[in-house]
Amino acid sequence: MKIVAIIPCRYGSKRFEGKPLSMILGKPMVWWVYSSVRNADILSDVVVATDDERIYQCVKDFGGRVVMTEPVHRSGTDRVTEAARKLKLEDRDIVINIQGDQPVFDFRCLPEVVDPLLKDEDLDMSTLACKMIDPDEITDPNHVKVIFDQNRDALYFSRSPIPFGRDSSAKFDYFKHLGIYAYRKRFLERFVKLPEGRLEAIEKLEQLRALEYGYRIKVVETVHESMAVDTPGDIARVEAVLRSH
């Protein structure tokens, strides 16, 4: 069984066009993500999946593995699925989807997200979350929140604060969803054939498609937070963190 990390990258982001190629401390963002992921020794391969010739050439130039995909995909997961086909992965192989906008990425979280699938052959999908420390992130729609049941199966993901504390005196943790998933290849093939979910369309969160159609998503709590770049203004914040490291 193979465990392959695929990094979906597209050029035409509405909020930040050309984001994977934006320079961070003299290196393109996709280089930072790729270089960190390669440090995980559980992986059989690391591949960037893109629909843009500029990103394709950038990855080639720094010696990375890259595949070209179609530009029509609804989501990063759809792009990852096409890449998994091109890599000729088998149904039981595990694919890790790592967003290309997370340059401050800790490769130590990858064994954590894969572990539930290694322990449970019937499980098709898992993801990562961490406790929210910055109170400003709770109300920020760019930071997705997740709630889960006692078995740590996801109940819902939202851009709004969940759960909602009716009583102001209630004390509880919020959990931030990190955009890192592990799936079995067989699940990806089913997922991309599903129509867009109603909640997915409302929240613009593709993982809700899986929940709406009755699939389990195991949520793994990690201490290795992954900082994402959503807007050009985030670059300076990321650079400061990288310098401190």
pLDDT tens by residue, 154-202: 999 999 999 999 888 889 999 999 989 999 999 999 999 999 999 999 9
Indicate the helix (H) or strand (E) that contains 69.
none
Lowest average pLDDT, out of 16-25, 44-53, 62-71, 131-140, goes to 16-25
Rounded Cα–Cα distance for residues 145 and 152 (Å)? 14
Q: How many structural domains are present in the chain?
A: 1
Residue 182 identity (one-letter amino acid): A
Q: Which pLDDT value is given to residue 14? A: 67
**106: phi then psi, degrees, rounded to nearest 5:** -105, 110
Q: Give the chain's radius of gyration (CA, Å).
A: 17
Rounded Cα–Cα distance for residues 88 and 83 (Å)? 9
Give me the CATH number covering residue 61. 3.90.550.10
pLDDT digits (tens, 9 = 90+) for 83-98: 999 999 999 999 999 9
CA 152 to chain centre: 18
- Domain extent, residue 36, equals 3-244
